[in-house]
Structure 1
């Protein structure tokens, strides 16, 4: 049975939008503004360990295209092992518009998202990572398909911007599994979703 893990970088005030500043968001670029080289080295080591332990990636179309276009650059900046693993992992992209994915080893899920992802969880034994893909992540949470949430918190508050839970109309109980300091500036939290919260 697979475990769906939503993994994200976030500001102290919960903003996940435009960490690298490429989207043109007025408060974008906080990823590098808030992190020292030592912070980024610790972040890269964690990212690599996480990717190496995963069995698959689950992404929305825009996030899939973003990572596909940038993985070679990340490989030079983060870790060859991370970039190689990102390219080799089976990738499942939820999209009704993507016809011919360019990224190697990609399968498009274009039917009933909840049904197809439930089937994916039954087929895959291990961690299925969700990077970015915030609309998809919200669907996973709403449908009780997400199992774990991992957050790397950067030491900056930007005031406004897209947050992971900002469109939720229900409470979402979580159980804290682990919290630790990755470096002088970064804190890493792991939570489990309480799947029985609506029963």
Structure 2
């Protein structure tokens, strides 16, 4: 049985929106405020995570973001690994098969996906999808790469839930000189 791993870049105050500034929120670009040493360390952690994944699960907007940002044609081991992984996109409409093996699912099919895939199913970005996965108790682990920034406003990882969702801390790791990777398992 697969494990759904939510992997997010997040500010200290829980904002996940507009990390690269592409959305023009005026509070974005916080991803770019780290130094080169931190960015290299971050990329190493992300590559490690990709090596441990058996599949990627994303919402449509995140899938399209990866395509717009050139992941289809990027070179290097990390890009190659992501390209080779099967990708599942939760969407009510069609998406292009622009980035390797891609299959569109409805949210109600994610539980079946967990049964079919052995190993880690990693979710990048995908705020709406993450909320649905938490609400439906489908997520198994959260890996939060925490940035030393308070955005003060913006879309949050958990804008609201139907009830308390207990988690337990299973790991902490300093990444570079200013990032912290916090890992929580669902209770």
Common topology (TM > 0.5): yes
1:139 aligns with 2:132: yes
Taking structure 1 as reference, are residues 153 and 108 closer, same or farther at Cα in structure 2, changes over 3 Å only? same
2: distance between equivalents of 1:187 and 1:12? 10
Give how far 1:68 is off.
2.1
Taking structure 1 as reference, are residues 39 and 143 closer, same or farther at Cα in structure 2, changes over 3 Å only? same
1:150 aligns with 2:143: yes
Does structure 2 conserve the Cα–Cα contact (< 8 Å) formed by 1:75 and 1:82?
no
User: Corresponding residue for 1:197?
Assistant: none
Helix, strand or coil at the partner of 1:179: strand
User: Corresponding residue for 1:192?
Assistant: 185
Moved more, 83-92 or 165-174: 165-174
1: distance between equivalents of 2:38 and 2:4? 26
1: distance between equivalents of 2:67 and 2:103? 14
C-alpha RMSD of matched pairs (Å):
1.5
Structure 2 residues not aligned, in runs of 5+: none
User: Corresponding residue for 1:41?
Assistant: 40
2: distance between equivalents of 1:89 and 1:99? 17
Deviations 1:78-106 (A, max 9, x none): xx111111111000001111254322200
User: Corresponding residue for 2:156?
Assistant: 163
1: distance between equivalents of 2:146 and 2:94? 32
User: Corresponding residue for 1:58?
Assistant: 57
1: distance between equivalents of 2:5 and 2:157? 14
1:91 aligns with 2:90: no
The correspondence for 2:104, drawn from 91, 105, 108, is: 108
Does structure 2 conserve the Cα–Cα contact (< 8 Å) formed by 1:38 and 1:183?
yes
2: distance between equivalents of 1:19 and 1:100? 24
Does structure 1 conserve the Cα–Cα contact (< 8 Å) formed by 2:38 and 2:175?
yes
1: distance between equivalents of 2:44 and 2:155? 26
Give how far 1:172 is off.
1.2
1:181 aligns with 2:167: no
Does structure 2 conserve the Cα–Cα contact (< 8 Å) formed by 1:71 and 1:86?
no
2: distance between equivalents of 1:74 and 1:25? 28
2: distance between equivalents of 1:59 and 1:158? 24
Give how far 1:3 is off.
0.2
Structure 1 residues not aligned, in runs of 5+: 195-199
Does structure 2 conserve the Cα–Cα contact (< 8 Å) formed by 1:61 and 1:95?
yes
User: What is the TM-score when the length of structure 1 is the normalising length?
Assistant: 0.90
1: distance between equivalents of 2:85 and 2:77? 12
